[in-house]
Structure 1
Amino acid sequence: MTSSNDVLSRIAILADDLTSAGDGAAPFRQAGHDARIFLTPTAEPSRHAVGVSAFDLGSRVLDEDAAIVRIKRAARRNASADVLLKTVDSTLRGHVAAELRSAWAGSRKRAAILAPAFPAEGRVTVAGVQYVRGVPVHESDYGRDPAHPVRCSDLATLFPDAVLSQRDEAAELPELVDNGNLIVYSASEDGDLDVLVAAVPRLDEVLWVGSPGLAAALARRCARASGSAGRLPARARRPLIVVGSTNPASRRQLTELLARGDVQGVTVGVDPTPAVEALRRATAPILAVQTPGERHTPQTAHALARSQAAVVQALTEDLTVDALVITGGETATTVLEPLGATGIDLLDEPEPGVVRGSLTGPLPIPVLIKAGGFGDDALLLRLCHLVRHQPDLGEDA
C-alpha cells in the first residue's frame, strides 16, 4: 500500500534490454501509473512527464566499457526521479556488476540495493547466491547461454564490498542506507521483497537494482488509489509470432504452437525473400517466423536476426499481419527498429514476463513481448488467443 510519504510523480527504469524494460514497467502500470517504454537510449520524456518512463538502453549486447558509459549517462539524466530502478536479469546475464556501479555513480544516490530475486519464476537469492529452480545459475542452462553465459552465482564474489542482508535483518536497512552502503538482499518469496521495500523510509535515496520481483514490490508500495486503466487494442485479424530467442523454453513453446492446424510458420534464412513470399501465400489465421534453433557464429546470428526483421517489416507494412507477438528482448529490439517505432505505450502484463501494449510511431499496432526463458509450453498458444480474441476498442473487457 502507498504510504503518506510516497506521493510520486516520476518513476524511471533503466533496462539493459527491451524485455527488462517491459518487465520493470508493467507492475507499476498495473498499480495505476501510466507507463511508456522508450526504445532509444537517449530518449527524453517531457520535462513535466509523470508516471513511468522505462528506457531500453540495449547495454547487454554492448561491450562492458560501452555499457558503462551508456548506463552512467542515463542514470545522470534520470537522477531526480522519485524512484530510480536499474533492472538486472534475474539469472545475472549481462554486465551486472559494472552496470550497477556505473548507474550508482551516475545517479549519485545515497545507497544502492541489489535484490535480483524473481520468486514467481523460481529465481531466488539465498545467502547471497542466485538460484534458478534450485540450481545455482552458473550451473543451469543460463551458464551455457550462447550469447551471455553466466559464470558466477555468488553475489558476494561479484560485489566483495557489499553488505549482505535478508528479511530478518530488515530493521538494519535504514542505517545501512544512511551509511551509503551497497546492499545485497536475499529473497526467496515476494513477501521478502515487500519487507525490503517497506523498511526503507525514502525510496528516492536509493538506487534500486533488481528484476521484476523487486519492481513489483516497489509498485505495491507506490500503488495509486485510482489511475488510467488503459484501453484494450483492437482484436488482431492476423498476428505474426516472431521467435528469435534460442532459449529452450521459447523453442518448446513454438513447437507447441506450430502443432496447431491454424498456424503456419517458416524458418528464415540469411535472405528474407523466400520467407516473405511463403508467408504472403499462407492462408492460416496465425503466422510465425523463426530463426534457426541451432547455434551460429555471431556474424551469422546477426545476419539471421536482420533477415527476420526484414520479414516482419515487409508483412506489417503491407498489412499481411496486424499484430506482433515477439520472444526475446534482443529480437524485439532488432524487429521494431526498422518499423520506425519510438516506444511502446504499455497496457498490462497478462502473464509473468509478458508485456502488452501498442507501438508508438508510424505503425501503431498491438504488440506483446515475452522474455525468452519465461513461461510454460502453452504460453504462445495463450498469447495468440489473447491478441486475437480480446475485446475491440470500446467494448467491455
Structure 2
Amino acid sequence: MEEIIDQNEHVGIVADDLTSAADGAGAFLTYGYQPLVRRQRQASVGAPVVAVDTGSRLMEEADAMRATGQAIASLAGCRHLYKTIDSTLRGHIRAEIAAAFKASGRPRLVIAPAFPTAGRTTVDGIQLLHGVPVAQTAYGHDPVHPARASLIADLIAPDLGRMATVPVSATDSDIGKHIAGASIIVVDAHSQILLNRRIAEITKHGPALWVGSPGMAEALAAVVGQSPDRQTFTPPNAPRHILVLVGSANHLSHAQYEALAATGASVADRAEGIAKTASVACIHAPRARTADPSKVLCALVDEADIALSRQWYDAIVATGGETMSALMERLSIHTFTLVKELEPGFPLGCARLSNGRPILLAMKAGGFGSVMTLCNATNAILQMGRKST
C-alpha cells in the first residue's frame, strides 16, 4: 500500500511521466524550494514540494486510473494538490482526471491547461496551439499519444458534476459568480499574467484539485510564494565529466547533438565510440524513427550502462523523459531533488546511486529548446564545478 505523505506539506504534484513531474515541480525553484521528485512505487519521503511520476502515460487506461488515484490519495493531505496534464492534451487525460478528482477529497476541480509562453492557450474552453485547436495540429497525429480532443469539456466525465467556464472577458470580481455551484471549473487564459490572476483569485474560494500544464504550475507557485527556508545548491562534487543521452528522434534533438559535436564533445551512437577523456560525451539513438521505440530505448540505456562502467560521470543529461526514466530504473535511482533550472523547462536535479555516490541529472523534452540548448546546459554544469572549487 502507498504510504501517506506528511500532511503538512505545501504542494503535492502527480504527473503521468518524468518530464511532466519535473516541469510541474520546477516552477517552485524560483521561490526557493528544492522539490523532491519520486517514482510511484517508492516509499514517500517528506519535503515541502513533492512530485510523483506515476509512469501512467505508457500504461493501459485502467492501470493509469489506478496509479493516478493511488498517487493522488497519498498526497491528499497537501495544502495544494496539483495533477499535471500535457498542454497539447495527450495521454489518458479524461480517465486520469476522473480518478484524481474522486481520490482527492476536494469539492472542486479547476482545469487550466494553458501554457501561454509555449503558444498553448485556452479560449472559449478550446485548447489552442498558436491559435489552432490542438487536435488539428501535428499533435493530433502523434503515432504514440495523439491529441484526440481540443474541447476541454470532452475531457471531463459528466458524472463529475456541473461545469462552468471562466472566460477571458471575466473580471476578478466576477469569478465568484462564474464558479458558484459548479464542481468543475474550466479556466480560459491567453497569457501567463491572466492565468496567474485567475488561479490566485480562485484559491480564495476554497480547496480544489488543480489540473493543468506548466502554466498552472507557475501560477500555483506564485500563490504559494517564497519558501521560509530558502535553499541554495552547491554540487557535492565538482563536475568534470558529463554523459548526454539523446533518445528522441525529434529533428531538433539531432541538431542539438550535432552542435555538441561541433563544440568539441565526443559524440557517437555506441559507447565504444566516445572518448574516455572527453569532458562531454554524447550517445544518441538512431536518427530515423523505428517501429519499436522501446527496443531503441533499451539499446540506448545498454550503451549508457557500458559508458558508465568505463568512466565515472558526474552528471547525466537526457533528452526525453522516457530516456531518463529508463536510465533511472537501470541505476536503481528512485528519487531526486530538483536544485535549479538550466533553462526554463530544463531542470537539474541531484540523486544518489545505490552506493551512496551523488550524481547530477538533467532532462528535457526532445523537441524543447534551441539548437544550442545542450551546449548551454553542459557548459552551465561544468561552470558549476569551476565555481565551487
- TM norm structure 1: 0.87
1:218 alignment counterpart: 220
Distance 1:25 1:340 in 2: 21
Q: Does 1:324 align with 2:316?
A: yes
Q: How does 1:1-397 map to 2 (within 5 A)?
A: 9-38=9-38, 40-46=39-45, 49-159=46-156, 161=158, 162-169=163-170, 170-174=172-176, 179-202=181-204, 205-224=207-226, 226-233=228-235, 234-258=237-261, 260-267=262-269, 275-279=270-274, 281=275, 283-297=277-291, 300-362=292-354, 363-392=357-386, 394=388
Q: How far did residue 44 of structure 1 move? A: 3.5
Distance in 2 between the 1:358 and 1:225 partners? 19
Tell me the distance in 1 between the aligned counterparts of 2:79 and 2:277. Answer: 50
1:123 counterpart letter in structure 2: R
Write out per-residue CA displacement over residues 347-382 of structure 1, whole angstroms, 9 at most, x where no aligned residue. Answer: 022322111111133342111111223212221111
Question: Which structure is richer in relative contact order (CA contacts within 8 A, separation 6 or more)?
Answer: 1
Q: In the TM superposition, what whole-angstrom CA distance separates every residue of 1:40-93 from its partner, at most 9, and x where no partner exists? A: 2133434xx340111011010111111011101111111111010100111111
Q: Check 1:223–1:216 CA distance in 2 against 1; reply closer, same or farther (3 A cut).
A: same
Percentage of matched positions with identical amino acids: 32
Q: In the alignment, residue 278 of structure 1 is paired with which amino acid?
A: G
CA RMSD for the aligned pairs?
2.2
Give the drift of 1:172.
4.6
> In the superposition, relative to structure 1, how do residues 305 and 203 fare at CA in structure 2: closer, same or farther (>3 Å)?
farther
Task: Identify if the C-alpha distance between structure 1 residues 327 and 71 changes in structure 2 by more than 3 Å, giving closer, same or farther.
Answer: same
1:74 is paired with a residue of what secondary structure? helix
1:16–1:58 Cα contact (<8 Å) kept: yes
* CA apart distance, 1:240: 1.2
1:164 Cα deviation after fit: 2.1
Q: TM-score, with normalisation over the residues of structure 2?
A: 0.89
Q: After superposition, what is the alpha-carbon deviation per residue over 1:273-328, rounded to whole angstroms, capped at 9, x for unaligned? A: xx22222x45543211111132222xx32122112112222323443432111111
Matched pairs, number: 374
Q: In structure 2, what is the Cα distance between the partners aligned to 1:142 and 1:216?
A: 23
Deviation at 1:223, TM superposition (A): 1.1
Runs of 5+ in structure 1 lacking a partner?
A: 1-7, 268-274
Partner of 2:3: none
- 1:4 match: none
**Shift in alpha-carbon separation, 1:387–1:308, aligned structure 2, 3 A:** same
Q: In the aligned structure 2, how far is the partner of 1:44 from the partner of 1:29?
A: 23
Q: CA deviation at 1:385?
A: 0.9
1:180, 1:160 → 2: CA distance?
Answer: 14
